[in-house]
Structure 1
Amino acid sequence: MTAIRLPTTRSPGSALGAAPDVAESAEAYGTTGGYAGTTGPDALLGHLSASGLRGRGGAGFPAAAKLRAVRDQGGVPVVVANGEEGEPGSVKDRWLLRARPHLVLDGLALAAAVTGAVRGYVYLSDPEAGARVRRALAEREPDLPVEVVETAHTYVAGEESAVVRRIGGGPALPTAKPPRPFERGVGGAPTLVSNVETLARIALTAAHPELRGTIARSTLVTVSGGNAVPVLTEVPYGIPLRTLAAGHGIPDAAGALMGGLFGGLVDARSLDLPLEPGALAAAGTALGCGAIRFLAAGACPVATAADAVGHLAAESTRQCGVCVSGTAAIRDTVHALAAGTAGPDAPARLERWAQGLPGRGACGLLDAAAATAGSLLLAFPERVRSHLRRPCPDCAATPAGDGHGRRLAVRVPEVADAPPSRVPLSLRPSPVLKGTS
């Protein structure tokens, strides 16, 4: 089971909260400043803009700009808390919905206030998270009508156009863009699809605007790899990847699989990079959803790449022919490398696909497969060449998986039920939904 590691320095602006192993009640959340409604929409938008808060769903788009884009479309917007966590190595979103549903719901209501939305949705695939969110809604009835929408868990079900399609009654499959959801989403209305951690940080900023910089520059990460127990923790931007690896019990890590399956592989030298979106992007990798899998010393990166591309190929929705053929070709070639049966042209073919396939599918799945292949060649060229000369003992000991990402998967930390709240509904404060600061 995944452990939770609290930061050394505790802060009221922490997304982990005071008791991360127990579901937070409305009463407990209220004592931390939640649901207070003291920061108006305009002031909140100013705080978010000044703090530079980025979305935590993977793309890292500025949160204030996304809120403004929905607000400025006109009409009556819709807001969606996106808790569908497709990355097998990430647990933060499901944990937030299980442990701190009121924090997420508060953030959703505040986002509605900023954009002018009058209805909201919580979108997820985890039954336990769904039960906790429904319990939170019953415990404190929100002024904003909120519906919980469940979907089947897949890698692409959380892609924003797939979210809109599923809420509208269709399958959770990506659609061609434009239009994007902020232009025309649920029911044709401008729609904010926001990751649940992003909404949590919006709520924390509203309750503690004096800590806006710290809130924006802290992030939840899921750390796994080696023989260590996976960990969910909160860290500040700027912490070296090597420090994270050492704290995870792998001081001599050989590299990492970054950003879930989206940031690709990096070598040991790259572990001196700071965990900061801009610095990572400049180095050709990504923070993504905050899932980092470190490679233990001696572990073969080809085996890790084989697991990653195998999972992506299995998760292709088969809507785009280029994705079906592209992910399968990358999978088969990397698996052949791992098995020691690849021909001498394998690296050249992987390089060609890494350069030519990104951007050709309806979502980012094909891009992730191509990035994994390209990063393997870039970060570990000698290891790739060695697989062409002779079979790899490490890969032989860990043959390619079944495509379901089980070796990459991390379990959600256990969260106990909250005790019943003692505060009557009539005495609990309501969030600000409309108006100005």
Structure 2
Amino acid sequence: MTEIAVRQVGPPWLTRGLEGGGRLDHRAHRELHAVLRPLESDQLIALAEAGRLCGRGGAGFPFAIKVRAVVNSAVRRGRRTVVVVNGTEGEPGSAKDKVLLGRAPHLVLDGAALAATALGSVEIVVGVTDPGTAASVELAIRERGIGERARVVRLPERFITGESGALVRGINGRRPIPPGRKGHASTRGVDGLPTLLSNAETFAQLAVLAGLGPARYRKVGTADEPGTVLLTVGGSARFPAVVETAAGAPLAHLLDLCGSRAGSGVLVGGYHGAWLSGDIATRTQVSRASLEEAGGTLGAGIVMPLGRGTCPIGEVARVARYMAAESAGQCGPCRLGLPDMAGGLAALAAGRDAAAALEGVRRSAGMVVGRGACAHPDGVSRFVLSALDVFEADIAEHVERGGCGRPVLGVLPAETEAQSRLEVDWSRCDGHGLCADILRGTVRMDEHNYPVIPADPIPVRLEADARKAVAMCPGLALRLVQRVPKESRE
């Protein structure tokens, strides 16, 4: 797990003892945090309601409602329950849950164990993708001696792995992708049992709330959003960090703390979030209400300022291509809409027929909203459409001049596990266009009706289609070349 600094503004309730970067074992944890008194399910619900505790994984759903739904389902069906900690954190710009599980795993387990006891759960399952995180949690389970009722499940590190349905499927031994039919883990989750599923920070917040009590917990933050918030500040920040701050703190102050200004724009909420202009971002507070009023979202607590040295359209295009590759590919919006959107943004960034490309991006984004098997297409559309608004002046340069003159520095993380790329033997290519039909949104035809092949590696999800394109090329002009890993070249 990549080390990242931890900074604090206000009381360090979640990150106490983490400033030095080390991991708190069970003994060190107990010196900093109270032993929690067991609760009944109705007491747990009352505690969450009194502390106005909401999920910190993105949707901000009230925790008490989740607990009540699990209780009602268990009573109605006469079944036991399961508690699931979502520590997958597939969002490339997020590190807060990895920090908690890697350095303060016992705080998360405190909250999970409190919930499991209240619900009479058969087990606690912690879903992770990072090997370092998995090792830390497994060690914490051994340190607490709860191996008979807690386990770690490691899943593939993909953006969609953290979607609740995908996580449940993965824990159940199936492919971890969002199910085609929407359902609720509270009704039927792990092993078909009613499941309380929330992310790592939520369970850590629950432990803090139970330890402090609602009255003290509500003295920090805002009236509607008490307590602290964990943010991952990255992007062009000179000092990227996981920051714990009281809800309601000025966003501009946190950017200054991490060595960044709002610049040309600030992404809030991650790649399912939205862009804010620099002026608006500096007047915004760190709270769900303030960010939503500004046109953004708190989401999973990701803040990525974009400096003026990089091309914002190129950065957005890179992320859009990554997000299209990271989809489950099981519905039309993901299989067709997102690749079309990504291809249009790539053309816009390169200045190729930019006006038509811009119109195509808007059309694709509008067509996928509300039509996906999960929230992935909606989230990507929000990310892209907000970028078109915030970076309107930059887009005008791309349309009028073919570009803005700035390089694409890769400030926004958008890495894939892709290992292959397409090459064309131009002496054989006759421009039949079959490759563009098969790899829609990845390969495009230029004005001379010849394919435009991306220089970037082909996403893993599309490798089968890439092989099909190679096999079906009438001129035998395509080939798939294996990328040599960097470490093998050094």
Partner of 1:342: 353
Partner of 2:72: 72
Q: Contact conserved, 1:306 with 1:400, CA < 8 A, in 2?
A: no
- State the 1:124 CA deviation: 0.5
Q: Contact conserved, 1:83 with 1:124, CA < 8 A, in 2?
A: yes
Hey, what's the Cα distance between the residues in 1 that align with 2:346 and 2:81?
A: 46
Partner of 1:140: 144
Hey, what's the Cα distance between the residues in 2 that align with 1:30 and 1:400?
A: 39
- When residues 205 and 400 of structure 1 are mapped into structure 2, their CA distance, relative to the original with a 3 A threshold, is closer
1:199 matched to 2:203: yes
Map 1:69-218 → 2, pairs under 5 A:
69-74=69-74, 75-142=79-146, 145-209=149-213, 210-213=215-218, 214=220, 216-218=226-228
- When residues 355 and 240 of structure 1 are mapped into structure 2, their CA distance, relative to the original with a 3 A threshold, is farther
User: What residue identity is the alignment partner of 1:71?
Assistant: V
Partner of 1:6: 7
Map 1:284-363 → 2, pairs under 5 A:
284-363=295-374
TM-score normalized with structure 1 length: 0.86
Q: Contact conserved, 2:25 with 2:106, CA < 8 A, in 1?
A: yes
1:380 matched to 2:421: no
- State the 1:16 CA deviation: 0.6
- State the 1:46 CA deviation: 1.7
Hey, what's the Cα distance between the residues in 2 that align with 1:227 and 1:299?
A: 13
Residues 27-57 of structure 1 show CA distances to partners (whole Å, capped at 9, x for unaligned) of: 1222234443266554343222122111111
Q: Percent same amino acid among aligned pairs?
A: 33
- When residues 373 and 84 of structure 1 are mapped into structure 2, their CA distance, relative to the original with a 3 A threshold, is same
User: What residue identity is the alignment partner of 2:105?
Assistant: P
Partner of 1:416: none
- State the 1:10 CA deviation: 3.6
Q: Contact conserved, 2:273 with 2:297, CA < 8 A, in 1?
A: yes
- State the 1:403 CA deviation: 5.6
* 1:261 match: secondary structure: helix
TM-score normalized with structure 2 length: 0.77
1:19 matched to 2:18: yes
* 2:243 match: secondary structure: strand
User: What residue identity is the alignment partner of 1:323?
Assistant: C
1:254 matched to 2:264: yes
Is there any run of 5+ residues in structure 1 with no aligned partner, and where?
Answer: 407-437
Hey, what's the Cα distance between the residues in 1 that align with 2:408 and 2:80?
A: 57
Match of 2:287 among 276, 287, 298: 276
1:62 matched to 2:55: no
Residues 104-163 of structure 1 show CA distances to partners (whole Å, capped at 9, x for unaligned) of: 111111111333322110111111111111111111113970111111110001110011
Hey, what's the Cα distance between the residues in 2 that align with 1:28 and 1:183?
A: 37
* 2:160 match: secondary structure: coil
* 1:325 match: secondary structure: helix
- When residues 400 and 237 of structure 1 are mapped into structure 2, their CA distance, relative to the original with a 3 A threshold, is closer
Partner of 1:426: none
Residues 268-293 of structure 1 show CA distances to partners (whole Å, capped at 9, x for unaligned) of: 12211211112222333211111111
Residues 299-330 of structure 1 show CA distances to partners (whole Å, capped at 9, x for unaligned) of: 43212211221210121222223212111111
Residues 403-430 of structure 1 show CA distances to partners (whole Å, capped at 9, x for unaligned) of: 6269xxxxxxxxxxxxxxxxxxxxxxxx
Q: Contact conserved, 2:38 with 2:118, CA < 8 A, in 1?
A: no
- When residues 399 and 200 of structure 1 are mapped into structure 2, their CA distance, relative to the original with a 3 A threshold, is closer
Hey, what's the Cα distance between the residues in 2 that align with 1:234 and 1:179?
A: 33
Aligned-residue Cα RMSD (Å) equals 2.4
Tell me: higher relative CO, structure 1 or 2? Use CA pairs within 8 A at least 6 residues apart.
1
- When residues 297 and 102 of structure 1 are mapped into structure 2, their CA distance, relative to the original with a 3 A threshold, is same
Number of aligned residues: 404
- State the 1:395 CA deviation: 4.6
User: What residue identity is the alignment partner of 2:293?
Assistant: A
Q: Contact conserved, 2:238 with 2:259, CA < 8 A, in 1?
A: yes
Residues 245-268 of structure 1 show CA distances to partners (whole Å, capped at 9, x for unaligned) of: 222222352211221111122211
- When residues 260 and 61 of structure 1 are mapped into structure 2, their CA distance, relative to the original with a 3 A threshold, is same
* 1:181 match: secondary structure: coil
- When residues 130 and 380 of structure 1 are mapped into structure 2, their CA distance, relative to the original with a 3 A threshold, is same
* 2:54 match: secondary structure: coil
Q: Contact conserved, 2:185 with 2:196, CA < 8 A, in 1?
A: yes
- When residues 144 and 115 of structure 1 are mapped into structure 2, their CA distance, relative to the original with a 3 A threshold, is farther
- When residues 384 and 393 of structure 1 are mapped into structure 2, their CA distance, relative to the original with a 3 A threshold, is closer
Hey, what's the Cα distance between the residues in 1 that align with 2:410 and 2:59?
A: 32
User: What residue identity is the alignment partner of 2:216?
Assistant: L
Q: Contact conserved, 1:68 with 1:115, CA < 8 A, in 2?
A: no
- When residues 401 and 212 of structure 1 are mapped into structure 2, their CA distance, relative to the original with a 3 A threshold, is closer
